[in-house]
Chain A
Amino acid sequence: MRNVIDGAFIAMLEARDLQIKHPMNGLFGGARRVKAYGSSAEFADYREYHAGDDLRRIDWNLYARFEKLFLKRFTDERQLHHRIYIDASASMDWGEPNKADTALKLAAALGYLAVQAMDRVTFYAIHDSAAEDISRTVVGREAFYSAAKQLNAVKFYGDSDFGRAVGSQENPGRGDGISVILSDFFTDSDWKGAVDYLRYHNRDVHLIQVLSRDEIAPGYSGKVRMLDAEAPDEEDDRTYRTEITRSSMKAYEEAFRWHRNELRMFCTSRGAGFFTVCSDERVEKMLFEQAAKGGMIT
């Protein structure tokens, strides 16, 4: 049984918050300041008075000075709804330390940051072409601790198809929060379509690539028949025969760099965030260095 959160983990996150890059709407009643004009105490700007405006908001000092009527406008505070997608395919249940553990810890951390800011959060586990709601929508810390137990029980198996899983969501949210996809992105599925779909719905999108050390620098040698964890059948197309040589290792390294660069370039072009973590790194480092550097956490 996993344990994605503990006291020390929570304490570490107390002073942190999720950073919202794009203008959001959200629901009324939250604590997240948005660019929409509302009734908070924080001044936003002025505009000229039009007939029918609330007379209480006229700034009389400005009228005395310019002999024109101006209205004071204030920012609004809303409740956002963040959605965290976890690739729950068999390829994530790999490595030492396990990539799935790392992905769940990151998801839990992000979820805690969300509920701490009085936002709502939903965790999804992607199996095949479906995004399964793990814990329903979480609001408040009590609900979060309950959801964390659900996270602990997530099973990683089979395949995952982001494009279809995310794209087929009827309500991925519109302009009301962050969408995070945690995966190794070693997939033939249309992850780009998923990112576009989320961006189309005006979501703040972040892709976090979770890898193990042996995926970054494999130490294999000799003639091997590689059996894909998601398709252990020898006859599957993904079963790969090769002889690990110096040149094949070089080609792998090049493919690795190309793939990561592809992820980064695409995310940049779509205004999405992207960073890679290795499962043998500490979660603090992932959050406070890589996530913060990627503009995801402040």
Chain B
Amino acid sequence: MKFLNPAGLWLLLGVPVLIIIYLIKSRHTDLPVSSTYLWRLSERFRKKRLPVQRFRNILLFLLQLLMIVAVSLLAAKPAVVNGERYDYIVLLDASASMNTRDDAGISRFRYAVKQTEELAEYVRKGHTLSVILASDTPSLLIEHSDSLSEIKHMLNAASCSFGVCDTATAMELAGQTVSRCENPRVIFYTDRDYAGTEGLTVVNMNKNEWNVSVDGLAASAEKERPVFTGRLTSHNLDADVAVGLRIDGKTVDARTVTLTAGIPAEVSFDAENLIHYDTAEVFIEENDGLAEDNSYALCRRNTGIHRVLLVSASPLYLESALNALGNCEVTVVPTTISTELSGYDLTICDNTLIDRYPDSGSVLLFGLHALPPGLTFGEIVAEETPLTIVRGHDSDFYDGLSLGDTVVSAYAGLIGDASWEPLLTCGDTPVLMTKEFAGGLRFSAASFDLHDSNLPMQSGFVTLIRNLVDLSVPAILRDTDWSVGETVTLTVLPEALQLYAELPDGTVRQFDTDALSCTLPVNGPGIHTAVMTTADGGEYVDFFVHLPAEESSPAAAADDMLSLSVDLPEGASDELLSEIAVWVAAVFLILLLIEWGCWYRDTY
């Protein structure tokens, strides 16, 4: 026989404590009385006691003694082990790929849980089981349990995440658990192949189920209309797959494509007659293994109505373009002198001098008359130079933007530090730069006069202005493409009365509007919505959260070498002590109740 928790034997210290209590208790207190005659006489009227009653006190003492021993043994968990006893430590990979279902509709994670439950049956034979849920934030689900019901309860309550598996942390946690075991056996249920394992057994739950994933979606402006290109991959099987395009929740196009296993393919959709959209989504309708990667959405910010102050002596081009956007309330003034500059989301100064900057909202400057602090003009060039877009930045500024044959006949280069981001160049010379300041406010400056360019004549001019406005106006959230496990940072705009996020499952997360920003860890895929209410109404931003790319191809071999680092964590002994303290408290409570019960019975 072995004790699974020998620390429980510390409770036997209660035996001497009990004896001391009885020794102290057995003292008689002196009681002066008028006469002991009747008390002595009462001896003959005492009922004849059975030997059991005569020794009731000693029996009570023995009972309490036995109880201490029993509780001590219970805490020490004695077990008769046939052969060697193991402390099983199971790691359950809870990454998104473990949600992949087979033809029976059962996920790899559930199969792993089922096998763990089968392993849990061994606790009846004196083994113990610990379970670590290896998600992006691994946690110890069960530690050294020998209770089958507890294990089953915890396993049934366990759920798989949609993030990645933080293998390193999980291994560290397993190592700590191992260090508290006498005879550990570590089993890792996962769906990945590892280059090597050390000190643990890996059980691969991957059954090469068929899965098609939409890995990405991009929009480009071709032929003056957006073109959406989705990237798809079929895993483990060549397949003809039905792919569709949804715009703002309405399916506008669909087709069947033939995919070769393991080879990514692109599918493009021309969105004819599409001027504006909030959400474009490429999706597949197949009953494959993992449903959560069957769509990919591109969300545009719904920016509401922007209050724009246009300071220009000849505002025709810009005013026309702003009005064409349909979401701008434009106020035109010829000069900033004697003009109230506050209360606007964006102030655009078109080739005019500025006596002061607004104290709220963003600023966009055109021309060679003014520059924001931190920028200086370079040499003025007076020859026609093509205007080009600086690619390489992941920004809404480039969304659908095409400048065609735009040239500028006179411009000056802009010189600023690295915090200034170039957006447009003439040759290699930056002519449009931008910088974001606190509170989402942004300064942008274009160092050419629109009248010295054919830009206003180009079809892309409106798109450029739209993107500049969108870029400049403070927004709750600019990036609308996120991955599960990332943390979304929402900017709390000064006018916000309420800020909350609606998750795909319908739950709502409220945020504190007194903070400058707030964070939202995203744990599930789908379209999320951040909503800000203001005194004027408010605005919302949809953003899409997709599965981590590697989770759609679970068969991919990982290069990681799995090994357990066994360290005794600090506080382990504290845990042990606190556990013992609970048991000791329970024992003394029981003793106290017994004593009280006996006293009550005797007294009343």
Contact = CB atoms under 8 A, between A and B. Distances in A.
A184 B46 contact: no
B28 A94 contact: no
Contacts of B198: none
Interface stretch (B29-37, B158-166, B187-195): B29-37
Given A224-B28, A225-B28, A254-B45, A91 B602 contact: no
Given A223-B27, A246-B603, A252-B39, A212 B34 contact: yes
B47 interface: yes
A227 interface: yes
Given A223-B27, A227-B31, A246-B604, A187 B42 contact: no
Interface in B96-120: none
Interface string B4-47: 00000000000000000000011111111111111111111111
Contacts of B393: none
B37 A188 contact: yes
Interface in A220-276: 220-230, 232, 238-248, 250-252, 254-256, 258-259
Interface in B290-342: none
A295 interface: no
A238 B37 CA distance: 8
Nearest to A239: B36
A226 B601 CA distance: 22
A254 B39 CA distance: 10
Contacts of B40: 238, 240
A225 B47 contact: no
Contact of B41 (A224, A225, A246, A259): A259
Nearest to B56: A245
A187 B36 CA distance: 9
Contact of A258 (B35, B45, B46): B45
Contacts of B42: 248, 251-252, 254-255
A65 to B, nearest CB: 66
Main secondary structure of the interface of A (DSSP, over half): mixed
Contacts of B601: 246
Contacts of B28: 223-225, 241
A218 B601 CA distance: 17
A186 B41 CA distance: 10
A259 B29 contact: no
B596 to A, nearest CB: 14
Contact of A226 (B26, B27, B33, B43): B33
B34 A215 contact: yes
Contacts of A251: 42-43, 45-47
Contacts of B43: 251
A221 to B, nearest CB: 5
A240 B47 contact: no
Contacts of B46: 247-248, 251
Given A246-B603, A254-B42, A226 B37 contact: no
Given A247-B47, A251-B46, A224 B29 contact: yes
A258 B41 contact: yes
A224 B45 contact: no
The listed residue with most B CB atoms (<10 A of its CB), out of A92, A238, A240, is A240
A294 interface: no
Interface in B563-604: 601-604
Nearest to B27: A223
Given A224-B29, A241-B28, A247-B47, A259 B38 contact: yes
A224 B38 contact: no
A34 B34 CA distance: 42
A226 B38 contact: no
B78 to A, nearest CB: 38
Contacts of A254: 42, 45
A190 B41 CA distance: 16
The listed residue with most A CB atoms (<10 A of its CB), out of B33, B44, B45, B46, is B33
A95 interface: yes
Nearest to B40: A240
Interface string A195-235: 00000000000000000100100101111111111101000
A123 B40 CA distance: 31
Contact of B35 (A222, A223, A228): A228
Contacts of A258: 41, 45
Contacts of B47: 247, 251
A226 B39 contact: yes
A207 to B, nearest CB: 16
The listed residue with most A CB atoms (<10 A of its CB), out of B43, B46, B47, B603, is B46
Given A246-B603, A251-B45, A223 B26 contact: yes
Interface in A71-127: 90-92, 94-95, 99
Interface string B232-260: 00000000000000000000000000000
B35 A184 contact: yes
Given A238-B40, A246-B604, A258-B41, A224 B31 contact: yes
Contacts of B25: 223
A229 B32 CA distance: 7
Given A221-B603, A223-B28, A225-B28, A242 B39 contact: yes
A215 B36 contact: no
Contact of B34 (A95, A224, A243): A95
A189 B43 CA distance: 19
B34 A225 contact: no
A245 B39 CA distance: 13
Contact of A228 (B33, B41, B603): B33
A229 B34 contact: yes
B53 to A, nearest CB: 9
Contact of A255 (B32, B38, B603): B38
Given A254-B45, A255-B45, A186 B38 contact: yes
Contacts of A90: 34
B38 A230 contact: no
B34 A240 contact: no
B31 A226 contact: yes
A91 B35 contact: yes
Contacts of B27: 223
A91 B29 contact: no
Given A224-B29, A241-B28, A246-B602, A230 B45 contact: no
The listed residue with most B CB atoms (<10 A of its CB), out of A99, A230, A255, is A255
A218 B38 CA distance: 11
Nearest to A188: B37
A240 B29 contact: no
Contact of A227 (B30, B38, B41, B602): B30
B59 to A, nearest CB: 15
A243 B31 CA distance: 12
A152 B26 CA distance: 44
A259 B35 CA distance: 14
A34 to B, nearest CB: 39
Nearest to A238: B36
B33 A229 contact: yes
Nearest to B41: A255
A157 to B, nearest CB: 13
A229 to B, nearest CB: 5
A92 B34 CA distance: 7
A226 B36 contact: yes
A240 to B, nearest CB: 4
11 contacts: A95-B34, A188-B37, A223-B26, A223-B28, A226-B31, A226-B32, A228-B36, A246-B601, A247-B46, A254-B42, A255-B38
Given A184-B35, A212-B34, A259-B38, 6 more contacts: A220-B31, A226-B36, A229-B34, A238-B36, A240-B40, A255-B39
Closest 6 CB pairs of A and B: A94-B34, A186-B35, A186-B37, A255-B42, A251-B42, A245-B602
Interface of A: 90-92, 94-95, 99, 184, 186-188, 212, 215, 218, 220-230, 232, 238-248, 250-252, 254-256, 258-259
